[in-house]
């Protein structure tokens, strides 16, 4: 039993690192949409093609990658993913030299191919590393580590990619060539680091999860898998689109500079991190006394995040207040993945609606609070979508579900079109629709038939 626990611990540590990597890469790319808008003088619709190029890759590759991973194994799938992330990262350098937006989109696409392999391999691996009833808790823990990366990424982007504004220069003063040169360096560093990690993983002995079992075609017989995949489509679309539009809205209505808006969006991703840390122990079999201790530690983390990003004690306390509301909302879920998901979807929809109507000085906190309630959505939707499947079916089901991450390409682009035609605030109508479907899946669609 001790040996088994040690093996699971090694596997979870390994997965935590992988979740951190693809979380950082994904959010760093999302943040770039506003940079490319300035460099290439794009519309909101065109700028969201950055997200389109990244998330369309899931539609192209997820199902195929599930089949590939089924043949080569989870470990080899992760190594392949890391190599592709590195290759895409290195392509940013010639893209900047050529000053070509399509070249940048191609680099993002290659990088995203690697992230797809990491994502498709990682989620079922975590699900299979223990009892199915606590799978949601394990996924929330690894997603919390993912969220640490997504919180850090916008801050680093504001320093390295948007640094000309921080140094007192404006994009309008810089030539496109000068502005574009701030983009590649972080990606070159990312490429080098992930190649080193790939080499280390190659020599590591990791727990083996079986990829054999019932043939993958039988997965299509489970309605909750397909409805869960649609849930992922709407969730990722709403999450990515909201982050991008909040960043634009802060500049247009909140009078934030491009650099400030890029940094402030870290509050959105930081909220998701806090919520996932809550869920990692609230949706597990952790002892009640430890849950109280962990809650206090997470609230302390929330204060640090809010204070560090805004550098005001008051803002740290506001962030703690939202974190406390997030914790209380989780109690309404009674420790059940589907109930918690439904509660969070309804609250996220209400916050998206409020973002459209609040005064300019409240956009930051109301909009970024959506991140808190996005927190449990991916892990809970995924866990409910694969619940009851044979281990041999997991890679195929993961491929199907991850294919619908293409929502991150479709919804933000549609939001950009709405923003161009009617104004940024009206783009939030689409996330409201997305959250309504997620609530339906939680209460009805996730039931086994």
Structure token pair of residue 277? 């840390």
Burial 244-258 (b: 16+ CB within 10 A, else e): bbbbbbbbbbbebbb
The predicted-structure confidence for 21-43, as pLDDT tens digits, reads as follows 878 888 777 777 777 777 778 88
Q: How many CB atoms lie within 10 A of CB 303?
A: 18
Q: What is the pLDDT of residue 351?
A: 95
Distances (CA, A) of 327 to 247, 267, 274, 373: 26, 17, 9, 10
User: Alpha-carbon dihedral of residues 141, 146, 150, 153, nearest 10 degrees?
Assistant: 130
State the average pLDDT for the chain: 82
Q: What share of the chain is helix, strand, coil (3-state, %, to 5)?
A: 85, 0, 15
Q: Are 428 and 256 in contact (CB under 8 A)?
A: no
In tens, the pLDDT along 169-228 reads: 444 445 556 656 666 777 888 889 889 888 888 887 766 666 655 444 567 788 888 999
- Using CA atoms, how far apart are residues 46 and 186, in angstroms rounded to an integer? 23
Instruction: Give the pLDDT confidence score for residue 449 in this predicted structure.
Output: 67
Measured distance CA(100)–CA(173) in Å, rounded: 20
- Distance of alpha carbon 71 from alpha carbon 426, whole angstroms: 46
For the segment 85-98, what is each residue's pLDDT rounded down to a tens digit?
Answer: 999 989 988 888 88
Percent of the chain topping pLDDT 90: 24
Please choose, from the candidates 84, 45, 89, the residue with its C-alpha nearest in 3D space to the C-alpha of residue 68: 84
CA distance 336 to 329: 12
Q: Which run of H or of E encompasses 105?
A: helix 101-128
Instruction: Tell me if 275 sits within 8 A of 326, measured CB to CB.
Output: yes
Q: What is the pLDDT of residue 426?
A: 93
- Dist CA 15 CA 140 (whole Å): 12
Yes or no: say if 115 and 22 are a contact pair by the CB < 8 Å rule: yes
Task: Tally Cβ neighbours within 10 Å of residue 288.
Answer: 6
- Tens of pLDDT, residue by residue over 386-444, are 887 776 677 678 778 878 988 988 999 899 899 998 988 899 999 999 999 999 999 99
Q: How far apart are CA 210 and CA 192, in angstroms?
A: 31
pLDDT at 112 over 50: yes
Please compute the mean of the pLDDT values over residues 147-169 and round it to a whole number: 65
Contacts of 147 (CB under 8 A, 6+ apart): 23, 269, 270, 272, 273, 276, 375
Q: In which element (H, E) is residue 321 found?
A: helix 313-332
> Distance between CA atoms of 349 and 372, rounded to whole angstroms?
12
User: What is the tens place of the pLDDT at every residue in 227-254?
Assistant: 999 999 999 999 989 988 998 888 887 7
- 334-360 pLDDT, tens per residue? 778 889 999 999 999 999 999 998 888
Residue 273: pLDDT above 70?
yes
Contact 158/263 with Cβ under 8 angstroms? yes
Count the residues in the chain. Answer: 449
SS3 120: helix
Q: pLDDT tens for residues 39-73?
A: 778 888 888 888 788 888 888 887 788 778 878 88
CB 90 within 8 A of CB 206: no
Token digits of residue 165: 């504004």
pLDDT value, residue 170 = 41
- For residues 147 and 27, the answer to whether their CB atoms sit within 8 Å is no
Query: How many CB atoms are located within 10 Å of the residue 13 CB?
Result: 11
DSSP 371-398: HHHHTTHHHHHHHHHHTT--GGGHHHHH
- 276/273 Cα distance (integer angstroms): 5
Domains, the chain, in order of start with CATH, read: 2-445 (1.20.1250.20)
Do 224 and 443 contact (CB within 8 A), yes or no? no
């Amino acid at each position: 039993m001790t040996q088994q626990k040690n093996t699971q611990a090694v596997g979870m540590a390994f997965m935590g690192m992988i979740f951190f990597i693809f979380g950082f890469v994904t959010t760093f790319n999302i943040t770039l949409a506003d940079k490319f808008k300035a460099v290439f003088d794009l519309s909101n619709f065109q700028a969201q093609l950055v997200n389109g190029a990244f998330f369309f890759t899931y539609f192209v590759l997820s199902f195929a990658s599930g089949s590939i991973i089924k043949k080569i194994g989870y470990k080899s799938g992760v190594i392949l993913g890391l190599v592709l992330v590195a290759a895409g990262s290195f392509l940013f350098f010639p893209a900047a030299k050529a000053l070509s937006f399509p070249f940048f989109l191609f680099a993002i696409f290659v990088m995203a191919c690697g992230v797809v392999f990491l994502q498709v391999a990682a989620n079922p691996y975590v699900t299979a590393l223990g009892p199915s009833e606590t799978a949601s808790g394990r996924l929330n823990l690894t997603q919390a580590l993912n969220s640490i990366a997504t919180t850090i990424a916008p801050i680093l982007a504001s320093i390295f990619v948007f640094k000309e504004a921080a140094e007192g220069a404006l994009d309008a003063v810089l030539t496109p060539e000068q502005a574009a040169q701030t983009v590649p360096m972080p990606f070159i560093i990312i490429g080098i680091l992930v190649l080193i990690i790939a080499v280390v993983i190659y020599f590591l002995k990791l727990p083996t999860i079986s990829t054999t079992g019932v043939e993958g075609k039988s997965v299509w017989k489970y309605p909750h898998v397909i409805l869960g995949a649609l849930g992922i489509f709407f969730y990722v679309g709403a999450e990515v689109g909201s982050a991008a539009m909040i960043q634009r809205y802060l500049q247009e209505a909140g009078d934030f500079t491009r650099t400030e808006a890029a940094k402030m969006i870290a509050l959105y991703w930081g909220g998701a991190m806090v919520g996932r840390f809550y869920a990692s122990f609230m949706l597990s079999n952790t002892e009640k006394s430890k849950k109280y201790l962990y809650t206090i530690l997470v609230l302390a983390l929330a204060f640090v995040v809010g204070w560090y990003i805004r550098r005001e004690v008051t803002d740290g306390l506001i962030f703690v207040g939202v974190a406390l509301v997030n914790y209380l909302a989780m109690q309404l879920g009674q420790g059940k993945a589907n109930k918690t998901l439904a509660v969070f979807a309804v609250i996220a929809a209400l916050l998206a609606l409020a973002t459209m109507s609040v005064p300019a000085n409240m956009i930051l906190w109301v909009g970024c609070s959506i991140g808190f309630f996005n927190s449990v959505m991916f892990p809970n939707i995924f866990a409910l979508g694969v619940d009851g499947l044979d281990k041999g079916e997991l890679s195929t089901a993961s491929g199907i579900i991850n294919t619908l991450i293409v929502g991150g390409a479709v919804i933000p682009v549609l939001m950009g079109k709405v923003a161009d035609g009617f104004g940024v605030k009206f783009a939030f109508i689409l996330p409201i629709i997305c959250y309504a479907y997620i609530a339906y899946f939680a209460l009805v669609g996730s039931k086994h038939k």
